[in-house]
Amino acid sequence: MPAQTAPASAIADELVAPDLPHAGWGDWLMTGCTQALDTMMLRAMGLVVDAVLLPEPQEVASMRAAARRILESTPWERPHEFFPFAEQDVRPIHVESRRRRRLDGGEVVARRFACDHDSAPIADPSGAGDAISIEH
């Protein structure tokens, strides 16, 4: 059963007004300047988002046409239309397994899967190629 809470009006009646120190005119001026600066910065960020991230009105029709191709068909029924690499064989050509260490209730096993599948040209500074190393 959920906990019962008192209505907000009953809680508000029990609250005591805080005793805040008097703010001088300098504090008031600084608060006003800061609020104005915040307002200008938010407006500037809104203009940047509009200019950089939103498409031009003449681009909207072509974007809708491109999206319609995906929305009106089912990629999982005809994946080769959407993903040219879907027809390639991606089974691993080399699998290595080795036991790393025993734990209570099991052991940690390391596996390395390697294949020559190349879905996209990606620079791999590690030199690992298409190898995938996992531990479980």
Domain ranges (residues) in the chain? 90-120+128-135
Tell me the pLDDT tens digit for each residue of 82-118.
777 777 766 666 667 776 777 787 777 877 777 665 5
86-98 in b/e form (b: 16+ CB < 10 A) is eeeeeebeeeeee
Which of 51-65, 78-92, 105-119, 122-136 has the least mean pLDDT? 122-136
- The predicted pLDDT at position 72 comes to 75
Region for 51 from its dihedrals, namely left if φ exceeds 0, alpha if ψ lies in -120 to 50, beta otherwise: alpha
Contacts of 57 (CB under 8 A, 6+ apart): none
Distance separating alpha carbons of residues 132 and 127, to the nearest angstrom:
12
- The predicted pLDDT at position 65 comes to 87
